[in-house]
Structure 1
Amino acid sequence: MKILIAPDSFKGSLDALNTAKSIEKGILTVDDTVQSTLLPMADGGEGTMINLVQATEGDVVSVQSIDPLGRPMMAEYGITGDGKTAIVELATSSGIDLLKIEELNPLITTSFGSGLLIKHALESGIKHFIICLGGSATNDAGVGLLQALGYQFFDDKGHELLYGGQYLNDLSTIDDSQVLPQLKDAHFEIACDVKNPFIGEQGASYIFGPQKGATPEMVKQLDQSLEHFANIIKKEKGIAIHQLEGAGAAGGAAGGMIALLNAALKQGIELVSDFVNLKTLIENEQFDYIFTGEGKVDGQTAGGKVISGLCQLASKYQIPVIALVGGVEKDLHKLYEQGLTAAFSITNGPMTLDKAMTETEILLEQQAEQIYRILSIK
């Protein structure tokens, strides 16, 4: 029997590699002759960096950076096992979880710290980047990130813009004469699972601004600032990002990177699957089953999460997919249509969320064992 074990992490409880190991342990309890392949997966959101590092046996690099309010901090990015790709999560240095609720203010928060991580990787010889946008505290169109890479943004008096989305409305010119020379040969891919445009009622400021601390008045101000930024980009670079699908991700950071770093926007699960050569692995190994999992499965999971991506690929090869999750919520008919065979909650009785998160490892092992006992019936 050949089994692929390819879960996402159980956020706040267990990373993807140890999730896979727990599932494997349960299966091997029943049959130690099973040939299992462990492949940590991710969908481009928070946790993608460590999952790809684990999947490729890479390394994590610590760098002196700043948080969204400019305070010094240490932050991390990943380098894949072949040493050729850096994985940078905006949440690591520009994340909403780095601030207290009362500190949230997208008028002044900056993505500069994330740019420092990219700069370090560029100066270390990395040319390929995967940028994960989830969980940012910023609404600055990625200008802070770009400033860290040498881009200069000036107002009409020749003063360089201060950090924060509110100052984008003062932008007059963009100077790329001081950008890092390594950028010329660099290739950026953005993992993004939202389709929001750069501006407007479905754009970055209106949809994501409030969760980052923006009042209704601030939302309008930020949207006007982003529109002005997009107008300058159109004037100087000939690129229209105003209504570009996905450009509004991470407070418009996607749009800024598309315009000035020529970044390619990709759905997170597709980017990760391509990077780890998931299709080739499935084609070559001819697995009998695929086990996957993540914190919970619900009606939204079919929209681009790890389980959804695996199901759609496995269905082409008629491989059953079994998901072990913390909780099963709502109707899963879309996942069944995509190829999911069954989803099982790992909880084995009434328990608090804290208890379930504390015991995730053993619960995964126990449930995997019981499932495989059924599968192994002759």
Structure 2
Amino acid sequence: MKVIVAPDSFKGSMTSAEACSAMEAGIRSVRPDCDILSIPVADGGEGTVEAIARIENGEILTETVLDPVGRNVEAEYGWIGESRTAIVETASASGLPRLKEELNPAEASTYGTGQLIQTALDKGAEHIILGLGGSATVDAGSGCFQALGVKFYDEKGAELDMNGGALHKVASIDTTALCGQDVSWTIASDVTNPLLGPDGAIAVFGPQKGVSRGDRDRYETGMENYASVVERHIGYEKREEPGSGAAGGFGFTLFSLLDRMEVENGFELVARLGNLEERIREADLVLTGEGKMDTQTLYGKGPIGIARLAKKAEAPCVAFAGAIEGEMDRFKEEGLSVVLPIVDAPMTVAEAIGAGPALLQRASRRMMEVYGLKQEKGEGRR
């Protein structure tokens, strides 16, 4: 029996690779003879570095950089020496898990992500894969570009330290010292939102980064001012570009200031590199999952991408989740046979997050026991 294990991360509890290990252990406790292929999945957010580095036999390196509010932290990036490719995810240095209950959109900056990129450039990177997703920032990526040499000035000509609260002050920019223009970039993101408006960075993603309802107009105005200054500098408009609203507007600045750049759906990038479609065609059972399965999952998140490939291959696909919201029929239409919660006893969210690997292992064991019963009755795929 061949089983594909391809979960996304369970945010705050397990990386996608750790989820793979937990699911493998649960499967082998029932079927030690299973042929298991584990492929960590990511969509540009948390786990992207680990997933691509594992697929490409790269290494994961650590660098001391600044977190969103300026504290020194150890953040990871991936390195593929053969192709001189660096893999950086915004979530590593500038992500929501770095702040937990300390969300501060006015002060939060992507500067640490820029430091990781600069480290990779200093190492000789010729290609940067940058995963957007999971950021704690609404600085439109200005902090990252400040770390890469861009200077931002107010109307009096004073240089600004960039963060979400500084966007309304920007009056001009200087990109003459920008690093990274001589390398190629792949932007991995599953977000197609524009920069501004009801579907933009502030309206849709601002609340999860700490923007209160009463402050939305202020941040929207700051973002609009920043966009106008950048577009005046480059001479054309990028605010309506699909994905410009990704990672608190990070996509906008990337699209505006980088020349050698392509954008690829984060999940599709990982799936292509991992040859997932072909491997799933050979599977008897496909297992996936993430921390929370809800309506956002339906918009190109990893588990739905896996389910669609499984549906195409006519392979049964089961997803595990720490929490489930929304209509299950929608998930089934996309190819998920069933979505199973991993929590098996009354507990708080914090307790569930802390016990995530053990809960996922037990849930995988229970699922395999039930799947074994179906096979005994002749209801398996083969």
Q: TM-score range by the shorter chain?
A: 0.7 to 0.9
Q: Secondary structure at the match of 1:69?
A: coil
Instruction: Check 1:170–1:362 CA distance in 2 against 1; reply closer, same or farther (3 A cut).
Output: closer
Alignment partner of 1:184 is 2:187: no
The aligned runs of 1:72-91 (5 Å cut-off) are 72-80=72-80, 84-91=84-91
Q: Secondary structure at the match of 1:360?
A: helix
Q: Distance in 2 between matches of 1:208 and 1:149?
A: 25
Q: Distance in 2 between matches of 1:70 and 1:43?
A: 26
Q: Distance in 1 between matches of 2:240 and 2:82?
A: 37
Alignment partner of 1:288 is 2:269: no
Q: Distance in 1 between matches of 2:83 and 2:234?
A: 33
How far does the alpha carbon of each residue in 1:322-349 deviate from its partner, in whole angstroms, 9 at most, with x for none? Answer: 2233344442212211212223334445
Contact 1:44/1:132 (<8 A) preserved: yes
Q: Counterpart amino acid of 2:298?
A: A
The aligned runs of 1:1-378 (5 Å cut-off) are 1-80=1-80, 84-99=84-99, 101=101, 104-180=103-179, 182-193=180-191, 195-215=192-212, 218-262=215-259, 263-283=261-281, 286-348=282-344, 350=346, 353=349, 354=351, 357=356, 359-377=358-376, 378=378
Q: CA deviation at 1:256?
A: 0.6
Contact 1:191/1:271 (<8 A) preserved: no
Instruction: Check 1:243–1:365 CA distance in 2 against 1; reply closer, same or farther (3 A cut).
Output: closer
TM-score (norm 1): 0.86
Q: Distance in 2 between matches of 1:18 and 1:352?
A: 21
Q: Counterpart amino acid of 2:44?
A: G
Contact 1:298/1:329 (<8 A) preserved: yes
Instruction: Check 1:159–1:329 CA distance in 2 against 1; reply closer, same or farther (3 A cut).
Output: closer
Instruction: Check 1:16–1:123 CA distance in 2 against 1; reply closer, same or farther (3 A cut).
Output: same
Q: Counterpart amino acid of 1:325?
A: A
Q: Distance in 2 between matches of 1:211 and 1:5?
A: 29
Q: CA deviation at 1:16?
A: 2.4
Give aligned-pair identity as a percent.
36
Between 72-81 and 222-231, report the one with greater CA deviation. Answer: 72-81
Q: Distance in 2 between matches of 1:25 and 1:104?
A: 36
Instruction: Check 1:107–1:10 CA distance in 2 against 1; reply closer, same or farther (3 A cut).
Output: closer
CA RMSD of aligned residues (A): 2.8
Instruction: Check 1:28–1:81 CA distance in 2 against 1; reply closer, same or farther (3 A cut).
Output: farther
Contact 1:196/1:246 (<8 A) preserved: yes
Q: Secondary structure at the match of 1:293?
A: strand
How far does the alpha carbon of each residue in 1:19-72 deviate from its partner, in whole angstroms, 9 at most, with x for none? Answer: 323333443444444322111112222233333334444322211211223333
Listed as ranges, the gaps of 5+ residues in structure 2 are none
Q: CA deviation at 1:358?
A: 6.2
Q: CA deviation at 1:373?
A: 1.3
TM-score (norm 2): 0.85
Q: CA deviation at 1:310?
A: 1.0
- The total of aligned residue pairs comes to 373
Q: Distance in 2 between matches of 1:272 and 1:220?
A: 36
Q: Secondary structure at the match of 1:376?
A: helix
Instruction: Check 1:178–1:206 CA distance in 2 against 1; reply closer, same or farther (3 A cut).
Output: same
Q: Counterpart amino acid of 1:35?
A: D
Q: Distance in 2 between matches of 1:124 and 1:310?
A: 34
Instruction: Check 1:352–1:369 CA distance in 2 against 1; reply closer, same or farther (3 A cut).
Output: farther
Instruction: Check 1:155–1:44 CA distance in 2 against 1; reply closer, same or farther (3 A cut).
Output: same
Listed as ranges, the gaps of 5+ residues in structure 1 are none
